[in-house]
Structure 1
Amino acid sequence: MSDLEQPAVADGDAARQTMQALRAASQAILTHATMGTATHAQLVRSPANTRKQPRDLCELKALVRAHGILQNLVCYAEQRDGVPTGLLAVAAGDGRWQVVGQLIAEGDLPEDYQLPYLLVGEDEAVLVSLAENLGRAPMHAADIFDAMRALAAQGRSVADIALAFGVSELTVRQRLKLANVALRLFDLYRRDRASYEQMAALAVSDDHAAQLAAWDSLSDWERQPQRLRRLLTQHCVALGQDRVARYVGLKAYQQAGGLVTRDLFSTQEQGYIDDVALLDRLAQERLERLAVRLRKEGWRWIDVRCRVDAAELAAYGRVRTEALTPNGEQAARLAQLQARAGQLRDQLDASADGGDDHGAALRELAAVELEQGQLRAALQRPDRADIALAGALVTVDDKGKACVLRGLIRPQNKPQMAAGAAADGKPKQRARGPHTARLTAALTGQRTLALRAELVRQPEVALRVLAHHLLRQVFYAERGGRVVQLDVKPPQLPPEAEDGAAWTCWQAQRAALAALLPEDGGSTGLMAWLAAQPRTTIDDCIAFCTACTIDGVQQGERTPAAVTELARTVGLDMRKWWQPTAQTYFAHVPKAHLLAVVAQATSPAQAVPLERMSKQAAAEAAARALADSGWLPPVLGGPMADGTAAGAETDVEVDD
């Protein structure tokens, strides 16, 4: 047991001893106390009541209305200036006395309603009140849900249960639904090892086996309510979240005979579409009408597909274009636009935000940039050989709108396109890796943060890195000008990198150092502070500031040698700082790459079921499969999906 835990234990022992003493004292009082009944008018509040904090009495009022007073009050004979008033002061049970008064005023109870009380001496009232209130603990919500279920099992209606508990009928239905969750999961909720939100997500299905399967298929940190709900509604699509559902519209779907499932925790705008086949058929019919007009444009082929994931779309080629040389008039106009755009940007940089002039400059700059884009587009000519293979894809975009993608090359026609490029003598292009430039920047941003955090932890290594940087400038390159040539310019990290263990550690390190620094950041004040610090503090400052200059963010797949050398120097292990999840990795790579990674990191057998899943479901399944594998993408030091070393390249011809 830790030292921190011992005082808590001691406090708990003291509290138990206090409670035991109170119970013993109150029990001694009760041996000579007498029972009786009195009307509400014969009772008054007592200053001896130890519960002073106001509380919500709605539920208590509903219980008294339904069942009457089930527990006696504790009272003593009131005296003023030593003379009995004939009234009884309520030392314990003030809430019950209040709600009886409210129910009498509302006509739910008669004025002569008898309240049971226990009569004690005035000098004993505080002790009895404390003994009654101190040991009372609120019921766990799970116990309340169980009680409602027991009443329902006895034949009580939802309306009766709602009246008894003082809640709405919808609340009763919700709680009965929660109480019907699989027993093992409900016991976790009772023991505070599962949340109300998780129970509400599980209650979307009445199938206990499915509930248990969804819960057990996720690790502790993955059991967010939305993920549990998604697993239990895989056969459905969610209103408001599915692009095809937004495109078709709820009204059109229901008019076609489609059913919508709404659980008790959904709003009117939420729910699940049961008949996905009907939904897709309605979308396909609407898109087909749009494709009729496209056929007049003369494309070689037109495909209509309401659902196309990112991996399938990435498999298509794009018609290449070649830049035409502008004629004299076009070249002059482009030069004019370029010069005017530069003037407007300088004007905007020099002026403060707001004002008519600022707004006019912004509008003019937008118009200039639009004309520039139109002129450059006019100077692009599509490749004739590619146009002969090209077609258009009609689908639904992320916003739920009809989308036409023109100038695509079908995957099976890409070899013909590559052969035509080779025949024209065009240079071969390196094959693109599975990572987009944005994903690579996010991954290497995480690596940059991890390098910084490791460098702060190792001041002696930071000094070597700093010395390395300075020596290269002093001895291996000519520099002149200012006295000190070392500038700290922290690179701009992509927003996706500002999340995770490395970012949290970096922010903590920054806060810890900032707390040590003096308020006076001027040269004199800071130098005086540094002169008074031990060497270890100076080392920490140098380490952190040196780490601030680290920039390993890149958009290409190949890792620069300098980054590799620094990672080796600090002993960087990215497995401590980052792991692939659906959100941070698998949703952003082609499905074929996702399957290859799972097969390589686990086994080919585990990758087989993912082939039949949607992209999102496969991404989540891949993240679960690799949760404890320690796998890293090549750009972070892991192997390629085909087993080759990180940084290897192939010379496969692809579209430009």
Structure 2
Amino acid sequence: MSNAYNLVIPFSQLRRSAGNVRRSGRSNANYLAGIATLAASIRSTHLQTGQGLLQNLVVHADGEFFDVAAGGRRFDAIGLLVTNGDFQDDYPVPCLVIDAKAVTSASLTENVQREAMHPADEFDAFKELTEQGWTIDRIADSFGVTPLVVERRLKLRAAAPALIADFRAGALTTDQLIALCSTDNHDLQAEVWNRVRDQHWNKDPAALRRAVISTEVDASNDDRVPFIGGVDAYEKAGGIVRRDLFAVDGDGLILADSALLDSLVHGKLHEQAEEIRSEGWGWVEVWPAFDWTQFERLGRAPTTFTDLSDGLAQELSTLERELAEVQVIIESMDGMELTEEDLGRYHSHDDRVDELSDLIEKIHKSKAGFTSAVMEHAGVVVSFQRGSLRIERGMVRAADRANVMEAVGDGQRVTGGRETESVGRKADTISDALRRSLLAHRNLAAQYVTTTNANAAKILIACKFVTDSRSDWSATPTDMSVGTGYGTRTGCTITDDAGQVREAEFVALGMKLIEALPVDHGELWDALAVMNSAELDRLLAFAVARSVSLAFEPSKLSEKYLQALGFNMADHFSPTTSNYLGRVSKDLIIQALSETGKIAGDKDLNALMGMKKGALAQEAEARLAGTGWIPNVIRTAEAKPIAKKGTKKSGEKGIASFA
């Protein structure tokens, strides 16, 4: 284009060039809508600056006309403005005139080879225009977009500078940037992104959005909002609301004060509680969230049934009679060939059956209640559960149980709950977390031993087949799965460091065992098919070992399996400060030392009792070493191994020997 030159040409002297490569799609709805938007932008720019077209058309001379080789959309947009009477037919259009031989090349360059502007550059451009005094609407008109698009771009431009840098470098996608901009707090944006940027499983847009608004509330999916009466009730209480510009379908209201929302929920619960107190209950408790543990500790007082008033009895009789009549009508229509009118009547009757049934049930429920003597000592729990108000009447505390039992008289009793008050864990018990950790230790030990006993593994598989076939799914101590299941393998977790290391070693042994096998599935089958029985047994034993999941509580099959392995937990566990002794009471430590004869008389006992807990645990670890003592919860019965000729015994080496 060395001979090209600029020229302002009246629109009436322009026409589309036959050399323009964009020849299809100009009549479809999307193209025409885009031309209308572009025309509006050109008109707006013309009114505000006196210059409608900011980029030249590329044309070539053809007699008295100039043919448009590039800029066909702008040409069509000006043509629309001329047709609508917004511009005159001789509207001046800035053009770049080129040689006719370069027409196709110019058109192709504009339509194919033009490089798209990076979104961050567009953010900057919008920002610069606002600083020059442009309004959002003017920017929208000039770029042919909606004002909301401009607002969203400006919002992204206001992201933390470090995020913009990552965005430009391609380390952050547009969707991720949008999610992080759900908050205006730069520190929070950067903190969340830096925390998860290397975690591919935890940085999808939805997860990022949840992370940055964790201290705020998304009104569209928080069940507290409808409970208090909606966003209006929150705002009326002085709550601040902002809109997430990137939300769709009308969602995106963010409530900035989660504490206020909780306060409003509490207020509504207390209002309900005040109404219930007037009924005459001994106590009424408000729970912000329903607590199953606390609820199960409460007993339930028995209800008594009273006679209905004459009015309710008459109403019940009328409803039951109507219900019977409607059901007769429905039954008479069953099996008939129904017209549309008949079908409408059928559905209407069916709906009426549901209405009548609900009314009748409500009256019957009103017959059940509590005597005043029971109410004097029983109470009510008012709570918020899954977006709804939950009211539980007739609940009995352990301290009031005897009084309620006396009030209900013979033949009735308080059901469920605790008979004594909870006073914390007793000195001779262990925590549930420690119990689960110990059970996990036992399960891991059983897995190790399984790798040495292919025969027991085969029996376990056969047992699993039989019990599953009888729909007794959880009877056999294996879930036959690596990722999911039941029992101690998936229900318990080892919590001490040494135990976790041993667990990782077990997994590593299995991986080493299979590392030489082919990856291709067909080749894998061929490799296994030529193995001898001993080699297959070795793989099978470890495969089954990975799935072993002993029962939580005593179980016949779990115990049988351990006996078949010749399993003795004392061979696999030694109590240490981290796995047991440092996590139980001094009484239990002394008990362990006493059971093993490691206390030398009263003087020694007094000295031990005088130690601080940490020092006592360390002393006990040293004294118990080599004794074979293990906590009662994981002790095993006397081993009675079931082994066939040629099978290995518990003490023989397993996978570790060939890992």
TM-score (norm 2): 0.50
Say which one has the larger Rg.
2
TM-score (norm 1): 0.50
